[in-house]
Every structure is written in C-alpha cells, then in structure tokens.
C-alpha cells in the first residue's frame, strides 16, 4: 500500500489518466475529486461490500426457497 500526504488543492495522478484532487479537508473527513476516463469504474468501498452482502443473502434465500419447493413437491406426491 502506498500512503501519500496531500494538502488542499493538491492532486495525485494514477496511471497517467486518473487524477485525484483534494478539494476540502474537515476535522474527520476529506472531500476528493476524481477525474478519470468514462470506462474507469469508481465506487465507494462500503457500496461494494453492501452489494456483496446482498448477493450472499440472495443466494442463501434462493437456497432456502429451493428447499421449501422440494419439500412441497414431496408433500404433493
């Protein structure tokens, strides 16, 4: 992991085509701006983690639903 220190209005460049700029600095937060090509996906980590949890829950629900369907078919016979 690379750790850099930047001040307000300073930037870093990633891979010659992504610029990350510091816009504002608060007591426990920082506001960043990202300038990147449209084909580069930029997402907040907590959204990716929440989506992963939702996908895993959906898989678990799907498995439970399949088990209930199998039980219902057995009872119909």
* pLDDT tens per residue, range 22-55: 999 999 999 999 999 999 989 899 888 888 887 7
pTM: 0.64
Q: Which two tokens stand for residue 67?
A: 């088990």
pLDDT band at 58 (very low <50, low <70, confident <90, very high): confident
**Inter-CA distances, 42 with 33, 63, 72, 73, Å:** 11, 32, 45, 46
Angle at 59 between CA 56 and CA 62, to 5 degrees: 150
Q: How far is CA 37 from the centre of its chain?
A: 18
pLDDT of residue 53: 80
């Amino acid at each position: 992991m690379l750790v850099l220190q930047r001040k307000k209005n300073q930037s870093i460049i990633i891979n010659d085509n992504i610029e990350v700029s510091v816009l504002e600095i608060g007591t426990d937060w920082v506001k960043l701006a990202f300038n990147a090509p449209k084909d580069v996906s930029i997402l907040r980590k907590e959204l990716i983690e929440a989506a992963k949890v939702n996908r895993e829950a959906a898989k678990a629900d799907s498995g439970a639903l399949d088990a209930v369907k199998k039980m219902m078919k057995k009872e119909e016979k």
